């Protein structure tokens, strides 16, 4: 299945996506149990979709990974389709990617490498007479 074929309230979704973004997880409590949730963006050659990651899935998925969702479910929130594993689906990382290098805006100034690394030089001490 492809992103452009997804419909709200659709079940039994089987799809392979590349993860392009991942938000910070949010903690919640429901029925006295703690949990975490976060959104990610997945894409294929037909478009992008928001993916809802729950609990253990959050640490399992990284930006750059290729994932496969089997028996997933498409919900809708504020007129935006959201894909998740639902109650009965599975999510598997089938290709691990490398997270993209941080941009200059994301990288702290102290970590920025100089534009040109200085060549190693031998320093000779001056003799004072």
Mean pLDDT to the nearest integer, 35-52: 96
Count of beta carbons in the 10 Å neighbourhood of residue 41: 16
For the question of whether the overall pTM of this predicted structure is more than 0.95, the answer is: no
Mean pLDDT to the nearest integer, 60-80: 95
Task: Count Cβ neighbours within 10 Å for each residue of 71-82 and write b for 16 or more, e otherwise.
Answer: ebbbeeeeeebb
pLDDT at 88: 92
Q: Express each pLDDT in 17-41 by its tens digit.
A: 999 999 999 999 989 999 999 999 9
The answer, yes or no, to whether residue 103 has pLDDT greater than 50, is no
pLDDT over 70 percentage in the chain: 75
Q: Which CATH number fits domain 3-98: 3.40.50.10140, 3.40.720.10, 2.40.50.140, 3.30.70.20?
A: 2.40.50.140
How far from chain centre, in Å, is Cα 80?
18
Cβ distance 52 to 36 under 8 Å? Answer: no
Return d(Cα 13, Cα 27) in angstroms, integer.
Answer: 27
The answer, yes or no, to whether residue 112 has pLDDT greater than 70, is no
Return d(Cα 46, Cα 30) in angstroms, integer.
Answer: 36
Confidence band, pLDDT 50/70/90 cuts, at residue 118: very low
């Amino acid at each position: 299945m492809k992103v452009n074929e997804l419909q709200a309230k659709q079940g039994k979704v089987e799809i392979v996506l590349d993860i392009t973004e991942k938000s910070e997880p949010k903690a919640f409590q429901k029925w006295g149990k703690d949990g975490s949730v976060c959104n990610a963006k997945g894409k294929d050659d037909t478009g992008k979709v928001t993916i809802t990651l729950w609990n253990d899935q959050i640490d399992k998925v990284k930006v750059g990974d290729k994932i496969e969702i089997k028996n997933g479910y498409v919900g809708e929130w504020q007129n935006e389709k959201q894909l998740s594993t639902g109650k009965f689906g599975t999510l598997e990382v089938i290709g691990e990617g490398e997270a993209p290098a941080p941009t200059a805006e994301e990288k702290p100034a102290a970590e920025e490498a100089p534009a040109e690394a200085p060549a190693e030089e031998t320093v000779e001490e001056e003799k004072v007479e």
